[in-house]
Amino acid sequence: MKVCSRCKRSRLSGEFYSKKSSPDGKSSYCKACNKEYGRQRYLRNRNTALADAKRNYLENREARLQYKRAYYQANCAEVTARNIRWRDAELRRQVAVITVQSCHRRGKELGSEGRLTYKQVQARLDYFGWSCKDCSADLVDGGEWVGQVHHQIPLGKKGPNWASNLVPLCLDCHYERHR
């Protein structure tokens, strides 16, 4: 047990940060007081801290750019692969978000039960491999979404607005389902 020199409470030694220069190897303030002290100090010196950060950013701009260029040249294949993975993941997230927004709007208009999340839609599309349920055509072409999400039991016929009622279809198959 140790007493915090700021709040004067007796606390376990695990509630203090390590400090090698201290005789007992622990800070004199508990973690909670240390955090509060840092927050208050920042608020007192906020304008100075922001000005210093901006000055540092502007002074070191060229050095940062050189570092980024060197890193890219040394790791070009890895950076490109990471960017492609991010672009694909972002496309899939955006498709799911737009689908959810559309389903919520139509479900509300038609009084359908159920509400889905974009993660549920994304999981449903992942389940079908982002391909058409009927003809197995790939629904992502060159980084573009070329499919549609279909309600197996239409919302207009009081079908539920749950992810389990959704299937991905290509444009042709979706057209055929609605003929």
Give the confidence band of 10 by pLDDT, cuts at 50, 70, 90: very high
Residue 142: which pLDDT band, with cuts at 50, 70 and 90? confident
User: How confident is the model at residue 179, as a pLDDT?
Assistant: 85
Asked if residue 172 lies in contact with residue 151, where contact means CB atoms within 8 angstroms, the answer is no
Please classify residue 105 by burial: count the beta carbons closer than 10 Å to its beta carbon, then call 0-12 exposed, 13-18 middle and 19+ buried: exposed
Which residue from 128, 105, 92, 115 is spatially nearest to 163, judged by alpha carbons?
115
Q: State mean pLDDT over 74-87.
A: 94
The domains of the chain, with CATH numbers, are: 2-59 (no CATH), 83-177 (3.40.1800)
The answer to whether the beta carbons of residues 140 and 91 sit under 8 Å apart is yes
Q: What is the mean pLDDT of residues 76-84?
A: 95
